[in-house]
Amino acid sequence: MFEEEAVPRRGRGAALGELAKEDLEVYGVEELEERIEALSAEIARTQARLDKKRSGRSAADSLFKL
């Protein structure tokens, strides 16, 4: 039978690492402004998830410290 080759999965945070290495010199002013907007939105999304996780952890800690 024909076997498919397994494609390795990228690790967590791999996209961020690749993004940080990208050459910004090739971008124009408008493209850089769009990039900043997109990254700011991602920061807000990440911060919201972090806040939610901290809230859940705090609730669990208070429940088990009775």
Report how far apart, in Å, the C-alpha atoms of 64 and of each of 18, 25, 47, 60 are. Answer: 40, 52, 26, 6
Q: Under DSSP, is residue 1 helix (H, G, I), strand (E, B) or coil?
A: coil
Under the banding of pLDDT at 50, 70 and 90, the label for residue 25 is: very high
Instruction: Please check the confidence at residue 3 and state whether its pLDDT lies above 80.
Output: no
Q: Where are the domains of the chain?
A: 28-66
More confident residue, 6 or 12: 12
pLDDT attached to residue 60: 76
